[in-house]
Structure 1
């Protein structure tokens, strides 16, 4: 009995060790989970900063692209080439940042280290883009000041500020009137332009006040006044955008009505093509395009307040419908061509089969299995060609039958000569 129980102490020791090990593993896992959650929480601030930088960089790039367009009109495309290249580099960095942000926003769980790395990369990319845009802005300002020269006088700039301030005041009732006729989304660009103009005028006013103080102290003011003139030029462009928005929206509304009429005509033609189309896949694609275009037309009432969106949706639906119709016509043309050629292809295959059968009959037992197998395959393909409902597939089978029969004839003659 004592011998039988001698293993109990060892079992107790091993059991205790196993329990301790299991407890340690569970504890380590829980500790790791807690550490991971803590690191994820600590990284959220970096992720928030990254999102803010993306917005800031995207707005800066958009503003710079607008400035580049004016610079090309002012100095020529060749003179603004280097500046545009810098903006395109900034846009490329921003695209990479957006891709990384998409990874952070995905529902899939990522490790804290991955999220920290991606946030840091977004931060770096956005700051690089902002530096590049800042360099572009400085260079454009320098170029404009050089073109303008240093002969800018304070009184003339004050007059310009007063004129732009009157235009800015007139923009508010204009936008209010337009808001009663158009959706807020349609006026978002003009509202942003008005805000930019107001901010530019405020900066110019502060610069001119500083310039007046410098004049009183007999200190040089040319660089400061040149920068103020640059700000006035930007404010003027933004106000031009505000003042032209009504005409642009009315033009978009007229274009949308014309596009809707054309889309309606094309829809009628597309429905007729869909109903008589014989190719299943392209018919389904055409039916889908017809359904989408019909929905866009039916939803026009909801988008009447935004003529630009209405016009763009109509044109996109029309483009997709045109592509679907062209694809369907190509498929139908292929079907019609195959149907027209099928009878001749079957006749050729039948004739070639008779020639191959005659060659095998003449060679009798001297003709080997390969030639006979090719003839049997030719007969099978000819049967498929006669029974297949799809003209394209039937034509392919008839042509394969001719080719196999031709092979059978050649092999039969070879076998007969070699006998």
Structure 2
């Protein structure tokens, strides 16, 4: 090899090494991506399981809330403190679980490690919720069983179950009659309560049969009797809710009519305020709320079969319209206040400008460019205050003019020393 090419082998070695490093980096990245995809696929099973636990835990919280209200009325507030504490803890855990589930559901991709951590935390939180509420409800059931005697209670529970079964049949007839006048969505709560009653009555029947067999064998039966008693109490509350449905629908219809009349009055007043409002942004927001309220009144006929939905929609529109009107009044108040304060602010700025000019004149050549620049800016801001049609912006400009004139005076006095 000629002496002038002695460096060529080294160059080849370096090039081969660089190519190897690049290839290794690409392979490593591809391998890492494959592992990440595999880990995400494996974690999806746990995520589905976590979603199921969220549903179970949320239902447990809702059931516990109903149970707590009834237990408090039955035993008093002091007797249910432990259950209330358990329910408060459960609500906090569920809030965290829902936040983590929202992260999992977000469109942004997360690493497999993050998703595993969040999923495990959701499972732990939901398990804690279910366990804590089961324990609290078990303690409450024990408290009820203390007041009962299984032998004496069994015949009464049989009779109560039969009465509730008759009430359930009457409730079905009433729901059938209401379904000819109202939409399924209006009766959804009552239908859900009826489904719960059916389930509870079936479970209670099995529990009472088992308790009767145990008593015949002289075996302990308090748990079964207590379970049946608690179930019948829940079924009775659900049937009370169904029985009240017709009155609730009538009340919702009346409330929807009242809300429509109130919204119509609010719209008339809001239109007058919008037409004379001077602040464009507030007027635009008020106009949007007016449009939404008007649409709600026009679309009320579509919800005639569901007075609950009609009432709630009209109420929400009226609330939003009231908020928009309040914001518009505040904006108009700012304009009126600025307009009232503008004259005084301009007078103060003009006075301070005269003081600053006099300070600069007295300082003569010793006063530098910084003080003169502040004075020129103060004069510019004062001109804006005189010419600006928006009183809020004009007031701000007048106050800036005063501030710059103050700065100019201070700098002139400092340089003139």
Q: Which runs of no fewer than 5 residues in structure 2 stay unpaired?
A: none
d(CA) in 1 for partners of 2:191 and 2:299? 26
| Offset of residue 295 of structure 1 | 2.6
Q: Which residue in the other structure is 1:395 paired with?
A: 395
Could you list the runs of 5+ residues in structure 1 that have no partner in the other structure? Answer: none
Partners of 1:44 and 1:29 in 2: CA distance: 23
Q: How many residues align?
A: 416
User: What residue in structure 2 maps to residue 125 of structure 1?
Assistant: 125
Name the stretch that deviates more: 47-56 or 344-353: 344-353
The 2-side partners of 1:16 and 1:415 are apart by 71
Q: How does 1:51-200 map to 2 (within 5 A)?
A: 51-148=51-148, 152-200=152-200
Bigger Cα displacement from structure 2, 211-220 vs 81-90? 211-220
Quick one: structure 1 residues 415 and 252, their matched pair in 2 at CA, closer, same or farther if it must change by over 3 Å? same
Classify 1:220/1:130 alpha carbon distance in 2 versus 1 (closer, same or farther; 3 Å).
Answer: closer
TM-score (norm 1): 0.87
Q: How far apart, in 2, do the equivalents of 1:71 and 1:136 lie?
A: 12
In the alignment, the residues of structure 2 paired with residue 81 and residue 5 of structure 1 have an alpha-carbon distance, to the nearest angstrom, of 91
Deviations 1:193-223 (A, max 9, x none): 1111112111211121112212322444444
Aligned counterparts of 2:226 and 2:327: Cα–Cα separation in 1: 59
SS of 1:153's equivalent?
A: helix
Deviations 1:362-416 (A, max 9, x none): x373873476555444433321211111112222333444555567678778988
Q: CA RMSD in A?
A: 3.3
Q: Is the 8 A contact 2:252 2:307 kept in 1?
A: yes
Counterpart Cα distance in 2 of 1:186 and 1:146: 40
Question: Which stretch shifts more, 216-225 or 200-209?
Answer: 216-225
Deviations 1:219-238 (A, max 9, x none): 44444323322221111111
Question: Is the 8 Å Cα contact of residues 366 and 415 (structure 1) preserved in structure 2?
Answer: no
Contact 2:150-2:221 within 8 A present in 1 as well:
no
Q: Which moved more, 1:308-317 or 1:403-412?
A: 403-412
Matches of 2:311 and 2:148 in 1, distance apart? 40
| 1:203-218 paired onto structure 2 within 5 Å | 203-218=203-218
> SS of the residue aligned with 1:107?
coil
Matching residue of 1:250 = 250
Question: In structure 2, what is the Cα distance between the partners aligned to 1:349 and 1:220?
Answer: 92
Distance 1:283 1:154, change over 3 A: same
- CA positional deviation for 1:71: 1.6
- Taking the TM superposition and a 5 Å limit, the aligned residue runs for 1:16-415 are 26-148=26-148, 152-354=152-354, 357=357, 363=362, 365=364, 368-369=367-368, 375-402=375-402, 405=405
Residues 121 and 411 from structure 1, CA distance in 2 versus in 1: closer, same or farther, beyond 3 angstroms? closer
In the TM superposition, residue 13 of structure 1 has moved relative to its aligned partner by 8.0
